[in-house]
Amino acid sequence: MSNVLQLLLAGLATGAIYALVAAGFALLWQTSRAINFAQGEFVMLPAFFVLAGTEWLGLPFWVAALLGLLLALLLLGLLFKRVIIDPLLPQGVLPVVIATIAVGILLKESVKEFYSAEAQPFPALTPGGNIDVLGAVLSLQDVAVLAVAGLAILAMQLFLGRTRLGRMMQATAQNPEVAEILGIPTRRMVLYTFLLNAALVTLASILISPVYLAKFDNGETLGLVAFIAAIVGGFNQVRGAIAGGFLVGVVDNFGAAYVSSDYRTGILLLLLIAVILLRPEGLWGRAEERTV
């Protein structure tokens, strides 16, 4: 029983990271119909901003983390939207997909070339050690990840649901033409979602890098799994994508423990196929209408 609880809690901790990244996928898709296939690399990069701050500039960790966030907002939010998405999106989704795959490769190779190909140790958020939860042993790092990511998700949900700005962003996502008719500055709302995505991936980066170390290819699996999580949960629902993230984290952990760690990605792909076949809009997604 304690083993199951341990797998569940550790799975939720990993799932919280996936949830942050999957929520970013859903946000971008909802507001701009853009799919960012560089999302995994977007998670990989901010850790190197932080490392550059601490190691090259000698900044304290939290100052470097703030600097990393600012750089991410600028490069992965503003610049990404203006330089890649805005010019390409009117040409259709496919050019965006190809361009974001290219961006992912560029980011990965740039980090390998200009920083290091080796995995870099990253400062932990908590001191080492474990705690006992009803017989399940959980690392303090996992607890911190779960708490910080959970709070971030809660804060984001409150922002989107309880503030005027958040509701205007939701309105832009749900019906951009009507949002424009009501005078909502839709272009600015879309920019805010790109900035929010940049903040989410930065947080995910800072949470995950102490465990997996900062490495140029960290984004490959992470991006794929978060993409699966967003589809499983519901690509057109931020809440669905978040739930998908947690679900995928738990399934991944149980699959690795009870089936085989060699086939963990395969198990997630099976889950993806099952969801696409049985409920294509995702477990918590909304069926979309199209008029022809």
Partner 1 sequence: MAETLLRIEDLAAGYGRVTILRGATLAVAAGAVTTVIGPNGAGKSTLMRAIFGLLPPRAGRIFLAGEEITGLGPRELLRRGVVYVPQGRNLFPELTVRHNLELGAAAFRIPDLDARVEAMLDRFPLLAERAGMQASVLSGGEQKLLELARALLLDPALLLIDEPSLGLSPRTTAEIFGILGGLRDRGVAILMIEQNARSALGMSDFGVVLDQGRVALEAPAADILADPRIGRLFLGGGIG
Q: Binding residues for partner 1, per CB under 8 A?
A: 164, 167-168, 170-171, 174-175, 177-185, 286
Q: What tokens does 213 get?
A: 């170390």
Of the pair 40, 240, the CB lying nearest partner 1 is at 240
Of the pair 202, 237, the CB lying nearest partner 1 is at 237
Question: Count of CB atoms within 10 A of residue 180's CB?
Answer: 15
Supply the DSSP string of 194-258, one letter for each residue: HHHHHHHHHHHHHHHHHHH-B-TTHHHHHHHHHHHHHHHH-TT-HHHHHHHHHHHHHHHHHHHHH
Minimal distance in Å, beta carbon 281 to partner 1? 13
What is the C-alpha separation between 78 and 93, in angstroms, rounded?
Answer: 19
Q: What tokens does 224 get?
A: 């794929």
Which DSSP letter does residue 34 get? -
What is the C-alpha separation between 288 and 22, in angstroms, rounded?
Answer: 19
What is the C-alpha separation between 224 and 22, in angstroms, rounded?
Answer: 10
| Angle (CA) 290 244 204, round 5° | 115
Minimal distance in Å, beta carbon 230 to partner 1? 17
Of the pair 180, 217, the CB lying nearest partner 1 is at 180
Minimal distance in Å, beta carbon 194 to partner 1? 20
Minimal distance in Å, beta carbon 225 to partner 1? 26
Of the pair 132, 289, the CB lying nearest partner 1 is at 289
Minimal distance in Å, beta carbon 15 to partner 1? 23
Minimal distance in Å, beta carbon 179 to partner 1? 8
Of the pair 18, 284, the CB lying nearest partner 1 is at 284
Of the pair 139, 172, the CB lying nearest partner 1 is at 172
What is the C-alpha separation between 12 and 285, in angstroms, rounded?
Answer: 20
